[in-house]
Structure 1
Amino acid sequence: MLNLSLSGLALASLASANMGAYPKFGEKQFSQTFHDGYNILKYMSSLAPYSDRKAYGVDRNTPDGCEVDQAFMIMRHGERYPDYSGFGDLYVETLNQMRANVTTFKGDLAFMNEWTYYVSDSNLYSQESTSGPYAGLLDAFSRGSEYRARYGHLWNGQSVVPIFTSGYERVIETARYFGQGFFGYNYSTSAAINIIPEAATQGADSLTPTCAAGVLEEYSCYEDRFYSTFPPLEVAAARLNKQNPGLELTAKDVNYLMQMAGFELNVRAYTPWANAFTLDEWVAFSYIFDLSYYYCFGPGSNYQMANGQVYANATRVLMEEGPKKSGSMFWSFAHDANITPVIAALGLDTPAQHLPNDTVQFPSTYQVSDIVPMGGHLTLERMTCNATVASKAGVYVRAVINEAVVPWTSCQSGPGYSCPLAKFSAIVDKAPKFDETCETNSSYPQYLDFFWNYNTTTNLNYQTGDISSQLTDTDV
């Protein structure tokens, strides 16, 4: 009995010693509260700083037994100042009218008595931001540094790697800073910036293809078409007008002020405009932009899907050729409205039914802030995998949007919910074809060629002199 008692005491002592590895009584290992739905960045649409996509629980890291042997990324430029035409001019006009109507602001707009507009120099319009914790060039450099850690094994340390960018200044600067982050001190000799003009004459040989047949649809399809049907913006205008007699804001004015908030965060650490509106109002504002992208630049438009098919099909061909023949890294940079068509052409983020344009859809099936925030990016990985109990050895494809793995609904049989390359190719084939849909001038290029025929010179790695000298035949 004595031996048994001693054994019992030893076990009790051991258990007591191990208790330090576990929470104390009453503490929870996992929180039961989730506040991601209240992060205001998810309701500022495409105008605000980058945020990772809400993930589905699939590990971002490469699945065990697989190796990424090709990586493709198309990234939006980083955080920026607004363009003057169509953005900044409307913001300034609205602010000037508000200050003309009200001398001292009260209530939710009381901050305006001290607040100053964040564009201090008109030359900053359209530019990538360089200040504040959300600065665009910082975002680009950080993404390059992170991708060097993730995909650095694809570079042999000697070859010159092309970086492809559309011909717009802020996009070019994003490409350059990404390259500096990825290659570090090797950037000046190992990266080769290739600028692809943003011109209709490029046809399909472009990161910004234009579907001639759909031009009229595109220009009649911005958020102004939708905002007037959503009452929360009217409610916001009425509340602010009541707090400030004589203000006379309209729902359209509120739309501009909410847009301005997102842009302010691209430059500064804080925007008081975020608190001037309720979360209900931000939800409506965000959905208005979701509608605009869905119908104007996403799966709601066959013309835009045909635009996206250009990049989607080129990456498919490169994957089928494989890294030994075609190369292992393809870093590309363009605009938000050039990336949403690609995602649509790939059959990702495509709702089963069109979005309703008179009510907010809950739950959201197409949220722009998860697809193309500032610095938003789509990454496609070609993986060579060993056999598992559930899948054969072979080549698979994964899609990653803003650092969250996004599986295809109808194709996820591979490791890490990846898609076999042959089935991925079949998905791409379903998208409307650019040459068949867009009625492109027959004298323009009919397919994307620059992924195969690119420059390896480093002449454009840094800006020298006036940026316009580097934008030959480019619409700026």
Structure 2
Amino acid sequence: MAPLASAVVAVLGAASLTAAQTPNRPGSQNRYPFAKPYDQSFLEGYNVLKHAGGNVPYSNRESYGIGRDPPQGCAVDQVIMLKRHGERWPDPGPAANFKASLNKIYSSTNATAWTGALEFLNRWTYFVPDGRYIALESYNGPYAGLLDGYRHGAEYGVRYGHLWDPTAVNLTIPMFSSGYERILTTARKFGEGFFGWNYTDVVAMNIIPEQVYMGANSLTPTCLHDNQTAVCSNLTNQQPQFKVAAARLNAQNKNLQLNSTDIYNLMQMASYELNVRGYSDWVDVFSLDEWVAFGYTQDLSYYYCSGPGDKNMKAVGAVYANASLTLLNQGPDKAGALYLNFCHDTNITPVLAALGISSPAEDLPLDRIPFPNEYNSGNIVPMGGHLTIERLTCNATAISEAGTYVRLVLNEAVVPYTGCQDGPGFSCALANYTSLVSASLPDFISTCGFNSSYPQYLDFWWNYNTTRDYDVETQNPIPAGEGLLTYQGTAA
């Protein structure tokens, strides 16, 4: 090798060695000049998980760039979490719709010679076994619902494990699940991930029935009268993109007669196939425009049926929001440090509406698709979606006094509370947060038509079951074929 070439190799080798050995962080000395301490890409780009509403596997919310760890000088001393169940098979209604559209496809004359975008049907098989797994969480694949619950529990065990003492004698930590089979299954897996395989030694699982007679003492409160606006009942299958997709597929395969409803069903089916198999050939059948249109139908449904577009939902969400204020102000010494709650997606969206999180300034339009859309349900309530309220104890900083602050974390993205960002890391002083939230909450009892014979407030956080009767299925099996549960763990 020539002397000059040898010198170049030696210099490059030294540079590579320096880059590899030098910590890639701000303040480190002698950094390789082209090493970037902060990633500049942020190229999330197109991802079907953001365009299929709450049907698809979990993904973190697109964030505002605020660090997920506590702000410098702060420590989390109390956590209140509301989590949706993990990824699952479809409910009976959608599953029947899937079969209807598939039967329509298979009854055409192309059953052994599919072409174009549907060529994969020559090999594809339906992913839902008849009856057996309907509405339950998926158990294998990269997006398995049971894995979601366990993994989330394990991650939060690392993040919030300091809030309980595993060496304490006769320790009881309550967990709260609404009364539905897949919700309770998620809670059990989360508990195993958070507290360890022997979580039943410390956890007391509380099942809160999903019944109207629970009034305000519920994780799934509702109104006695109709919650829905006139808009809510006619939101799906109306996008013109579905007609375009149907025409394209019909043109590629002789005698195929799909319509917009079939396209909607097949796109929803693809979403659920991801929960079970981890992939779906159906995803690539449809274009980005069509997936954006499908996602918007889901956004409209959440917004107008269980979110801020329904005139009653702020009052429904006020039950949880108001009770959480009491816990935050009582603090961990009096109320306890961990409140882990499990429910459905449509029980989380009212709480977000009550808190004003992700609520657009104007109602979602029905005649066009706003893009980007602030009320993207894939960001708000994917499978396994969750809202975490953190109570922080903070030292004094240049901009804030020492004291207690609150942070809202939606799907692992810190979401600054509107109108109050006076604390470290855009948190809100507990006193200010309490004042702002309480002033904005409507009354659930009067709004939703309850009288004094129903429970008037959420009480189970303070008066909970301390037995281990419902911690694992072997102790109290869920009745076969049943979904709704009572306090006793039996079919409602």
TM-score (norm 1): 0.92
1:3-42 to 2 correspondence within 5 Å?
A: 18=18, 21=22, 22=31, 33-42=41-50
SS at 1:349 equivalent: coil
Match of 2:467 in 1: 457
State the shift of 1:200 in Å: 0.5
State the shift of 1:225 in Å: 2.1
CA 1:416–1:188: 2 relative to 1, 3 Å: same
Mark the runs of 5 or more structure 2 residues left unpaired by the alignment: 1-13, 23-30
For 1:398 and 1:177, the matched residues in 2 are separated by 26
SS at 1:458 equivalent: coil
SS at 1:383 equivalent: strand
Please tell me the residue identity of whatever aligns with 2:187: A
1:354-365 to 2 correspondence within 5 Å?
A: 354-365=363-374
State the shift of 1:191 in Å: 0.5
Match of 1:322 in 2: 331
CA 1:90–1:441: 2 relative to 1, 3 Å: farther
Q: Does 1:89 align with 2:101?
A: no
For 1:269 and 1:165, the matched residues in 2 are separated by 27
> Among 443, 455, 458, which residue is 1:445 paired with?
455
Match of 1:145 in 2: 154
For 1:17 and 1:146, the matched residues in 2 are separated by 34
Question: Percent same amino acid among aligned pairs?
Answer: 52
State the shift of 1:28 in Å: 7.1
Match of 1:180 in 2: 192
State the shift of 1:16 in Å: 10
Q: Does 1:221 align with 2:232?
A: yes
Give the conservation status (yes or no) of the 8 Å contact 2:227–2:310.
Answer: no
State the shift of 1:427 in Å: 2.9
1:40-189 to 2 correspondence within 5 Å?
A: 40-84=48-92, 86-101=93-108, 102-103=110-111, 104-157=113-166, 158=168, 159-189=171-201
SS at 2:225 equivalent: helix
Give the conservation status (yes or no) of the 8 Å contact 1:381–1:397.
Answer: yes
Runs of 4+ in structure 1 displaced over 4 angstroms? 14-25, 27-34, 473-476
Cα deviation code 1:321-365 (max 9, x no counterpart): 111111110000000000011111111111111111111112211
Match of 2:361 in 1: 352
For 1:423 and 1:301, the matched residues in 2 are separated by 27
SS at 1:165 equivalent: strand
Match of 2:350 in 1: 341
Please tell me the residue identity of whatever aligns with 2:232: C
Cα deviation code 1:18-41 (max 9, x no counterpart): 56655577x877666544131111
SS at 1:124 equivalent: coil
SS at 1:164 equivalent: strand
SS at 2:465 equivalent: coil
State the shift of 1:291 in Å: 1.1
For 1:264 and 1:338, the matched residues in 2 are separated by 24
Please tell me the residue identity of whatever aligns with 2:186: T
Give the conservation status (yes or no) of the 8 Å contact 2:327–2:335.
Answer: yes
Cα deviation code 1:354-404 (max 9, x no counterpart): 111111112211110011100000000011111100111111100001111
Give the conservation status (yes or no) of the 8 Å contact 2:315–2:443.
Answer: yes
Please tell me the residue identity of whatever aligns with 2:308: P
Cα deviation code 1:394-419 (max 9, x no counterpart): 11100001111011231111011101
For 1:345 and 1:413, the matched residues in 2 are separated by 21
More off after superposition, 457-466 vs 160-169: 457-466
For 1:315 and 1:17, the matched residues in 2 are separated by 53
For 1:276 and 1:227, the matched residues in 2 are separated by 17
State the shift of 1:226 in Å: 4.2
CA 1:32–1:207: 2 relative to 1, 3 Å: same
Cα deviation code 1:420-461 (max 9, x no counterpart): 112211232202221121112431111100000001111110
State the shift of 1:471 in Å: 2.0
Match of 1:7 in 2: none
CA 1:16–1:263: 2 relative to 1, 3 Å: closer
Give the conservation status (yes or no) of the 8 Å contact 2:228–2:310.
Answer: no
Give the conservation status (yes or no) of the 8 Å contact 1:413–1:420.
Answer: yes
Match of 1:3 in 2: none
Match of 1:472 in 2: 486
CA 1:23–1:87: 2 relative to 1, 3 Å: farther
Cα deviation code 1:49-80 (max 9, x no counterpart): 00111111100001111111110100000000
CA 1:241–1:28: 2 relative to 1, 3 Å: farther
CA 1:345–1:19: 2 relative to 1, 3 Å: closer
SS at 2:71 equivalent: coil
State the shift of 1:181 in Å: 0.5
For 2:192 and 2:313, the matched residues in 1 are separated by 32
State the shift of 1:124 in Å: 0.3
For 2:409 and 2:36, the matched residues in 1 are separated by 32
CA 1:389–1:132: 2 relative to 1, 3 Å: same
Cα deviation code 1:78-123 (max 9, x no counterpart): 0000011x21011011101110023232111111121111112411
SS at 2:327 equivalent: helix
TM-score (norm 2): 0.89
Give the conservation status (yes or no) of the 8 Å contact 2:56–2:272.
Answer: yes
Please tell me the residue identity of whatever aligns with 2:454: Y
Q: Does 1:238 align with 2:252?
A: no
1:191-230 to 2 correspondence within 5 Å?
A: 191-217=203-229, 221-222=232-233, 224-228=234-238, 230=239
Please tell me the residue identity of whatever aligns with 2:202: S
State the shift of 1:15 in Å: 9.0
For 2:420 and 2:246, the matched residues in 1 are separated by 46
Mark the runs of 5 or more structure 1 residues left unpaired by the alignment: 1-13
For 2:247 and 2:436, the matched residues in 1 are separated by 48
Higher helix share: 1
Cα RMSD for the two superposed structures: 2.2
Q: Does 1:332 align with 2:346?
A: no
For 2:131 and 2:256, the matched residues in 1 are separated by 26
